[in-house]
Amino acid sequence: GVAAIAAEAMHWAGMPEWLEAALALAAVAACGLSTYKKGWIALRNGNLNINALMSIAVTGALALGQWPEAAMVMVLFTIAELIEAKSLDRARNAIGSLMKLTPETATVQQPDGSWKETEARSVSLNSVVRVKPGERIALDGTVVRGRTAINQAPITGESLPVDKGEGDPVFAGTVNGSGGFEYRVTAAAGNTTLARIIHAVEEAQGAKAPTQRFVDRFAQIYTPVVFAIAVAVAVLPPLIAGESWQEWIYKALVMLVIACPCALVISTPVTIVSGLTAAARRGILIKGGVYLEEGRKLKWLALDKTGTLTHGKPVQTDAIIYTGVAEDEGRSLAVSLAGYSDHPVSQAVSAASDGIQRYEVENFEALPGRGVRGVINGQTYSLGNLRLAEETVRCPEAVRAALTGLETGGKTVIMLCDTHQVLGLFAVADTVKESSREAISQLHSLGVKTLMLTGDNAHTAQAIAGQVGIDEARGDQLPEDKLRAVETFTAQGTTGMVGDGINDAPALARADIGFAMGAMGTDTAIETADVALMDDDLRKIPAFVRLSRQTYNILVQNIVMAIGIKAVFLALTIAGMGTMWMAVFADVGASLLVVANGLRLLRK
């Protein structure tokens, strides 16, 4: 840079030309040898890339005796290349820096019960790790002792700390709050959720998005065409009209510098990588630029019910006790019987037992497909479905009506009976996540229609769809039915599928964009999907659609800016007002503008 500026000063001061030339050649040699090397390799392979164009332009300027301009062109081009490389690194490193979130050591319980500081990478599965208040968690695991609140923002994008107790999952790289706790390791250091996120995003960055592929193809055609035009500009006016060779060769060289597609080629990878990184920071793991771009076209979104729209854990919603028994007594009988069963519905009834007395159950009997039966205080009671009740007692019309009403509302009902009559009804339902309602509302405002596909019965499907605001619901769906439904809707436009189970995997794979619930979802669903929502919050999907649209808008802006700036300076050159200095500034300026515009996606 200093040599190039000195060469320019010598020129203006009227110093000897050999001194000017020596400084210019020193500047070109100091920063341009790698450009010449790459340019020569490109020309030898018949490829007119950026380095080849720049090598030809600088060599031509030196041959014409334009010493200061040749030097400054090479210096500015090298600076522009450095800025572009640093900018792309910044976008890539934003996700790579997540790796630094994981501590190198963990406090691990030894066989004799003592605790020892151990390297995280050497901690084995099922080891028990202690975490102090304020510490970062080194490995994925499940809490076995203690309660705390954990900042999970690096993994799930949640802004508020999440309460954790026994049985709850914890993730490597997250920050413990004020409570100490112990957890059992469920994933080795190289297989934690955080490590998988980084690996998947790195792979995604390597895959080119449609716009990036288009730009690369465009540059392959555009560069030779511009080179041919430059040759014509250099040769035809002197040959046909007897114009000055030096003047027109200089104009052709200026055109070559202006035409370098640096800004155009750099604009797409910076924007796509920034978009992928911005999504990962929000807890949205996108497995390729193609899905980031496709998200803006989403027309239909199919959703599984259990664990996706709902919490996936049934809870007791209603308890009706009839006159044959006291209110508290009826609840105690139901909770006592349910406590002996491992069925999810019974467990939901058993869990709703705050302040309720539990009885000892004798001769307990599980009746597959019907319910349970047992003896309490010398009396036989049963707790199960309508089929079991009808085997024992007669069900009055009032009870049947109440049963139908609850089932129509999407609830599963079990009946408490003695040997003579129905004593009570207990309704259990998988409750809807509040975030699901907001997500569906936001999707509708973005013009995306919604479809629910569930294995539950049609009554439950319609009830949940009504609560959430889903456009269309289909019940009794087997995995192959979900697949067929998604195939039907993909014919109408870009269709996404959201699921969390193995039974959703075929539909996830067939959809244009598959979304997996990353926290609760099975490994099969997460591996099959194109996008993983790391905290199972459906509001991440409208956020993904908005990010996709913003990314596409910035891509279009960058392409228009890159080509527009080139066109303006090309017109100035043809009009005789363009210089090589202006050409370089146009190239560098356009590159900096598109890079800065692409990096806007990284702003919070």
For residue 124, CA distances in Å to 66, 128, 139, 174, 198 come to 67, 9, 10, 20, 21
229: buried, middle or exposed (CB in 10 Å: 19+, 13-18, 0-12)?
middle
374 has which bridge partners?
A: 381
Question: β-strands 379-384, 371-376: how paired?
Answer: antiparallel
Backbone φ and ψ for 335, nearest 5 degrees, come out as: -65, -40
State how far the Cα of 200 lies from the Cα of 191, in Å rounded to an integer.
Answer: 12
Buried b (16+ CB within 10 A) or exposed e, 100-137: eebbeebbbbeeeeeeeebebeebeeebbbbbeeeebb
97, two tokens: 């820096």
State how far the Cα of 551 lies from the Cα of 294, in Å rounded to an integer.
Answer: 11
Are the C-beta atoms of residues 48 and 95 closer than 8 Å to each other? Answer: no
Question: Which residues, 6 or more positions from 446, have their beta carbon under 8 angstroms from its beta carbon?
Answer: 298, 542, 545, 546
Buried b (16+ CB within 10 A) or exposed e, 324-362: ebeeeebbbbbbbbbbebebebbbbbbbbbeeeeebebe
For residue 242, CA distances in Å to 218, 239, 262, 339, 431 come to 35, 6, 34, 102, 86
Q: Which of 89, 112, 168, 304 is catalytic?
A: 304
Q: Where are any strands of DSSP class E within 394-538?
A: 412-417, 422-432, 449-453, 472-474, 495-499, 513-517, 531-533
State how far the Cα of 515 lies from the Cα of 523, in Å rounded to an integer.
Answer: 13
State how far the Cα of 301 lies from the Cα of 322, in Å rounded to an integer.
Answer: 44
> Of 78, 99, 88, 81, which Cα lies nearest the Cα of 27?
78
Q: Encode 239-272 in three state secondary structure.
A: HHHCCCHHHHHHHHHHHHHHHCCHHHHHHHHHHH
CB atoms within 10 A of CB 81: 20
| Residue 304 among the catalytic residues | yes
State how far the Cα of 219 lies from the Cα of 229, in Å rounded to an integer.
Answer: 15
Give the helix/strand (H/E) hosting 172.
none
Are the C-beta atoms of residues 530 and 246 closer than 8 Å to each other? Answer: no
Give the helix/strand (H/E) hosting 328.
helix 327-338
State how far the Cα of 537 lies from the Cα of 563, in Å rounded to an integer.
Answer: 40
> Of 308, 344, 315, which Cα lies nearest the Cα of 520?
308
**3-class DSSP assignment, residue 200:** helix
294, two tokens: 């496709």
CA angle 138, 139, 143 (to 5 degrees): 105
Active site residues: 304
